[in-house]
Structure 1
Amino acid sequence: MEAEFLTGDAVESALLKLLKTHQETHWAVAWGAMTAAAKALLSRPSRLRAVTFGLAFSQTDPDLVDKLIGLPGCRVVKRFPKGTYHPKVYIFRSGEVVEAIVGSANFTRGGLGQNHEASVRLSGTINDKVLADLLKFTAQSAALGVPVTRKLADDYRVSCQIAARKPKAPRDPLDDLPSVNLAGLNAPLTRMTWHQYVRAVHRADAPHPIDECLALLETVQTWLSTGASFRDLSIQRRKAIAGVIGQEDRSSAPELQQDWGWFGSMRGAGDFMNRVAQNDDALAMAFDVIPLRGEVRRADYDRFAELFVRAFANSDRTGGVATASRLLAMKRPDVFLCISNPNRTRASQQMAFAKTTLDLETYWDRVVEVIRASDWYDQPKPENRHGRLWECRAAMLDALFYSPD
């Protein structure tokens, strides 16, 4: 038996040559695409004996799957019981003569030239144990698959369309790291268990009673549960959510008889107070863009920040982290923490960022990502009385960080 090392587009060249010269094709390949080699493969349907492609992660070209409909020697693997169907085995046989290409190259444009791949071409006979075992492997692989029907191909194409709309991880996994608070992701706060978090919050009960803090946050959630826009709320409710409500407004309704300065009083932010009182459209749109339920994505936050800044386009002063995060913490207390003067120092210490580096651009990485990376945060909602706290667990970090001095 002879062996030859192949890399780059030498794999595709070898496949094209072997497709022309051999009588039988036996393949077990994770993914495939409609390449020039695919057209050569499909041009000789009588030679297809056991050619099986995988469909994992919707990586195989749906155009190729369409071409496999009704071909008796071709199958696809929809699922594999223990992991992923992931082989790259190409075997060709003419009587006793057997040749194979085995390595890392999928039957895709990347695998056949664009990627950095390594394969070995083996040439010998059916009496060579390695080649015989590889033929047996392709037969076993075919047994994992199913024939391609029109319905299967149509359903698979839909799955590929759905998969194409989903975000993909960057080619370089370190591309996004320069802006990420790496020290914060390894801070002691992130290693705190849920039980430790609960104990720490309750130890910090004064000066803000925990039950009353939770009641305040739950009041806002009740207001928002009707689906009303921020602009549709009464001016008193808008002021309460924004942390700018005064005593005269608080006395106007029983629902406002709480200390709305908790989680950050914003009464010193005059321009912000004006935007709230004037029911600024951009400010309302910013508040509304954060979903009340479900996942909050980075894109949601970025859109919020863009609209929030726009609200101050004609103001002498722009809104900052304190006023923005106040709104965010009221809308989604399970995701956001209001960072203001009384808690900024301890928050920066516990989350490992410099106070001077925190702004709207860095808030997500330095605060939200650190919270999400925490053991106590990534915990199923408890079924006991602490379920209320779990619903507000990000905003309630204020109890740990609050230090008015």
Structure 2
Amino acid sequence: MKIITKPAYIDNKLVELMEKYTNYYIATAWASMNSNAASKLLDNEKHITKMVVGTHFYQTHPDFIKTFASHRNVKFILKTDKIFHPKVYLFSDENGNWECLIGSANFTQAALTKNDEIMIHITSNDQGSEKIFTDILETIDSYWEYAEEMTEIEITKYTNIWKKNKTKLDSLRNVYGGYTSKKSMIKSNILSLQWDEYYKKIRGTINEKDYSFSERIEVLQKINNYFTEKQIFSSFTKLQRKQVAGLIDDGSEIKWKWFGSMVGAGVFHSKINNNDPNISNALNCIPLTGPVNEANYNQFIKTFKLAFPTGKCGIGIASRLLAMKRPDYFVCLDGQNRSALCKDFGIPQKIDFETYWEQIIARIIDSVWWSSSCPEDSRKEEEKQAWNGRVAMIDAIFYQHKE
């Protein structure tokens, strides 16, 4: 009897046992392709005697189901009254020899390539092996009794539900846009906060000498009034466009450069001065009220880039405009908050048009405080305004003043 802990060793041992034995008895909570063991199983599928695979939480990959569903000795657990959670791999031959792996590892790519797993390797030479062998077979037989074959229609339905829930499942694993943060969301200073905690943080982290919560709220409120009254960015006056774009402090009491000063973006400055229609058209892709989704964002970026045929634009200026139109969905990512924000989120600082939504916004939307209800107390008008600008206000937490 041995203990195996490294996923690559578990994968290799499964391959070794498949090559050595002629009868495979497998019960696993979840399964996927893209491991050495999965490839070997496909090559040796004639040796599958009984294989039962769970589908709870849609963790089994549809590709595995499509590959093995037609095999008469492979069935799936579709009932939802309890969770099917075993991980047992029994291999035997006609001479009474057998070996078994039992432990934590599912028959998935993750379990067999990168997860922390532990498996017990038992053989027919171990003490008490005869009863162990019998008990394992009887248990797998009991699973087999309530397992089911999957029809083509059921596979299609499963695949559709799996696709719909994949993003949700990925986010629970802290995977966004295919990138897994090495930092748990629990370690973030903001993502797990309740609204009242987050609200205190955007107020309480502000140094009154350099920052002003009320000044930020005033900027968002004034710009929201512009969009509410005029709707279309190109219909704003030149001064208003420059205020929205963070290109000017006009001598008034409103500090327009909060949420990202763009005074150094010369080409952007020219485009705003000349009222480039592509910038206004891009902002039209983002609804002023209601939900904003990734498709809206992608259309915004596609149109926004048309204003910069030489490519002299970046996520800083784009996110400034997005944050001003929909501060409840977007934050201006610039040189004064990028480092601290990305560190807190546990992601690389190299955020561009393609990764901004997936790495920044998708994480924020999954945060606890973002999904909170708007404060209803009429005495908390400033808090309501902060809630309406809750994503843009992240800047108040991560802003780092640079001389």
Per the shorter chain, which TM-score range?
A: 0.5 to 0.7
Checking the alignment, whether the CA contact within 8 Å between 2:102 and 2:120 is kept in structure 1 is yes
Distance 1:193 1:216 in 2: 26
Rounded to whole Å, the distance in 2 between the matches of 1:148 and 1:352 is 44
| Cα distance change, pair 165–207 in 1 and its aligned pair in 2 (3 A) | closer
Superposed CA deviations along residues 312-355 of structure 1, whole A, max 9, x for unmatched, are: 849xxx668875553132123124445899xx5xx6998699xx
Alpha-carbon shift at residue 76 of structure 1 (Å): 0.5
Task: Tell me the secondary structure at the aligned position of residue 89 of structure 2.
Answer: strand
1:57-115 C-alpha deviation (Å, 9 max, x unpaired): 232613334314xx4x54202466676735132255869x4734214665578989999
Higher Cα Rg: structure 1 or 2? 1
Counterpart in the other structure of 2:121? 120
What's the counterpart of residue 31 of structure 1? 31
Give the aligned partner of residue 346 of structure 2: none
Deviation, structure 1 residue 134: 1.7
What is the identity, as a one-letter code, of the residue corresponding to 2:89? V
- Map of 1:3-402 to 2, 5 A cutoff? 9-19=12-22, 26-29=25-28, 30-31=30-31, 35=39, 37-38=41-42, 40-42=44-46, 48=49, 50-55=50-55, 56-59=58-61, 61-68=64-71, 71=72, 74-78=74-78, 85-90=85-90, 92=92, 97=96, 99-103=98-102, 120-123=121-124, 128-142=130-144, 145-159=147-161, 173=180, 193-197=197-201, 200=204, 208=214, 212-213=218-219, 215-220=221-226, 222=228, 230=233, 233-234=235-236, 238-239=241-242, 241-242=244-245, 261=256, 263=258, 271-280=267-276, 283-284=279-280, 287=283, 294=291, 304=301, 311=308, 313=310, 323-338=317-332, 372=364, 377-378=369-370, 380-385=372-377, 386-396=383-393
Partners of 2:163 and 2:212 in 1: how far apart?
53
Equivalent position amino acid for 2:26 in 1: W
Q: Percent identity of the aligned residues?
A: 17
Q: Distance in 1 between matches of 2:395 and 2:323?
A: 10
1:77 partner letter: I
Aligned partners of 2:77 and 2:84 also within 8 Å:
no
Tell me the amino acid that sits aligned with residue 18 of structure 2: L
- Residue 31 of structure 1 deviates from its aligned partner by 1.6
Q: Which amino acid aligns with 2:390?
A: R
Scaled by the length of structure 1, the TM-score of the pair is: 0.58
**SS state at 1:90 partner:** strand
User: Relative to 1, partners in 2 of residues 1:290 and 1:384: Cα closer, same or farther, differing over 3 Å?
Assistant: same
1:393 positional shift: 1.8
**Cα shift at 1:132:** 2.7
- Give CA-to-partner distance per residue, 1:367-405, whole Å, 9 cap, x none: 968x949988456123414444212023346778799x9
CA contact (8 A) 2:286 2:297 kept: yes
Post-superposition Cα deviations, 1:214-237, rounded to whole Å, max 9, x if no partner, equal 53243255369x7x6x55x45566
Q: Report the 3-state secondary structure (helix = DSSP H, G, I; strand = E; otherwise coil) of the residue aligned with 1:279.
A: coil
Matched to 1:280, the amino acid is: D
SS of aligned partner of 1:11: helix
How far apart are the structure 1 equivalents of 2:178 and 2:257? Answer: 44
Q: Is the 8 A contact 1:90 1:101 kept in 2?
A: yes
CA contact (8 A) 1:337 1:395 kept: yes
* Alpha carbons 2:365, 2:371 under 8 Å: kept: no
SS of equivalent to 1:382: coil
Alpha-carbon deviation of 1:186?
A: 5.3
TM-score with structure 2 setting the length: 0.58
Gaps of 5+ in 2: 344-348, 378-382
Note if contact 2:18-2:44 (Cα within 8 Å) is conserved in structure 1: no
SS in 2 for 1:67: coil
Would you say the 8 A contact 1:100–1:122 is kept in 2?
A: yes
For residues 393 and 12 of structure 2, the distance between their equivalents in structure 1, rounded to whole angstroms, comes to 57
Aligned counterparts of 1:397 and 1:170: Cα–Cα separation in 2: 21
Alpha-carbon distance in 1 for matches of 2:223, 2:270: 23
Quote the offset at 1:275 in angstroms.
0.7
Contact 1:4 1:121 in 2 (8 A): no
State the alpha-carbon separation in 2 of the partners of residues 376 and 163 from structure 1: 19
Residue 380 of structure 2 corresponds to which residue in structure 1?
A: none
Q: C-alpha separation between the residues in 2 aligned to 1:150 and 1:157? A: 10
What CA deviation, in whole Å up to 9, does each residue of 1:153-177 have, x standing for no partner?
33234456668899766999568x8
Corresponding residue of 1:253: none
Q: What number of residue pairs does the alignment pair up?
A: 359
